[in-house]
Amino acid sequence: MPKAKDIGKNKKFVRRIVWLCVAGAVVLSILITVITLSVQYSLPTIAENYWEDQTAGGEIEKKYAKLGPYAVDAREYTAANYDGGAENHYKVWFPADAGTAAYPLVIMVNGTGCPYQRYEDIFYHLASWGFVVAGNDYETSWDGKAADETLEFVLQDEELSAMVDKDRIGIGGHSQGGMGPFNAITQYENGSLYKVCFSLSCVSHDLANFLGWHFTDDAEEDDMPAGTEEVEEESGAATGDTTEEEPETPYTYDTDGIGIPTLMLAGTAGFEGMIVSQEDLQDSFDGLQGDAVLARREDTSHGDLLWQADPYVTAWLMYYLQGDAYAGRAFFGDYPELSLNENWQDFANKTAA
C-alpha cells in the first residue's frame, strides 16, 4: 500500500502536469489570436479612385499609377460553390471594345478575407490598361484551386473566351493569394497556360503551415501536389519489408518549379514582418527559375501593399503580356527604376539562365 507521502507527491506531480497543459493551451490560444488578428487587421482597404492618391518615386511608376486609356465594362457570373457558404461569383472586367479584339487575361487570387468585392478598383485599373481581369469571391485561395476554376470558366465561356488572347495569360495575388499563384501554376494542368506571375506579400511557409494552408498526406488525390501521390512500393511488398515510412512534411508551395517571369513585392511596416520576412522572400526568390524581381516598399503595411504596389504590377504585366519595353525599364537594364526609387528597398533582379 503506497505511503501517504508518496500519494501526496504524486498529486503534486499531476497538478503540475495539468497546470503546464493549461498554460500551454492558453499560450497557444493567445498566439493563434495574435496571428489571426494580425492578418485580419492587415486586410486591404482600397479607397475609391485610389490611383489619385498614389505616391510615385519614378516616372514609370507615375505613368502606370494612373488609369489607362481604355473604357472599362464588367460582368458578374454565378460560380460553383465549394466553400459551403453563401453563393459564390466570378466577376470579369474588360476593355469596352473586348470581343472585337483579343486582350491579355489576368487571373487575380484573393487574400484572406478579401473577395473581389473588397478591391474592385484594382481590377478596374488594370482593365483600363488593356487587360481582361477575372476574379472570384472564394475564401480559400492558397491551394490554387479557385484560380484554376476561374481560368477554366473564362476559357469555357464563349463570350469571355472571345475576348482573350490565350497565349497571353498572367496570374497574381496578395497574402494568401500571394502563394495561390505558385500552386495554380505547379499543381494544375492549366498551370502551363500562364506566361507571367506576380506575388504580393506572400505568406511564409511557416505561417502557411501554422494556418493549415498546406497539402497533407490524407488530402484528396486531386488536391495533392504533383509527385506526392501515394504509390504502391512493389519492392517492399516483394521483400516483405513493412517498415513504416516517415510522414512527409506538409507541402505549402514551392517556387523551384516556377519558370515564368515572377515579380515578388512586400511591405515593411505593421504586421508585415510577422507574415513575410525579407529572408522568406529571398528564399522564394532564389528558387525562381525565370526572370524575377524582388523588392519591398518602405513604410507600407501588409494591407496597403495591394494598392501601393499596383503601378509596378501594372508595368510588369504590360512588359510581359503587351511587349511594353518602356515598362520593362522599371525592372531591368543598367539602371532599373525600381532599384533607384526611394520608396522601395531590398531590390534584386535576375534573368532566366
pLDDT per position as a tens digit, 247-273: 566 789 999 989 999 999 999 998 898
- The CA distance from 323 to 306, in Å, is 24
pLDDT per position as a tens digit, 297-308: 999 999 999 999
pLDDT of 220 higher than 80: no
**Structure-block grid coordinates of residue 224:** 495533392
Cα angle vertex 8, ends 4, 14, to 5°? 145
- The CA distance from 353 to 350, in Å, is 9
- The CA distance from 54 to 268, in Å, is 17
Residue 53's pLDDT is: 87
- The CA distance from 194 to 185, in Å, is 7
| Exposure class string for 215-226: b at 16+ Cβ within 10 A, else e | beeebeeeebbe
For the entire predicted model, the pTM comes to 0.82
Write the CB contacts of 45 (distance below 8 Å, at least 6 apart in sequence): 303, 304
Three-state DSSP at 75 gives strand
pLDDT per position as a tens digit, 127-161: 999 999 999 999 999 999 999 999 999 999 999 99
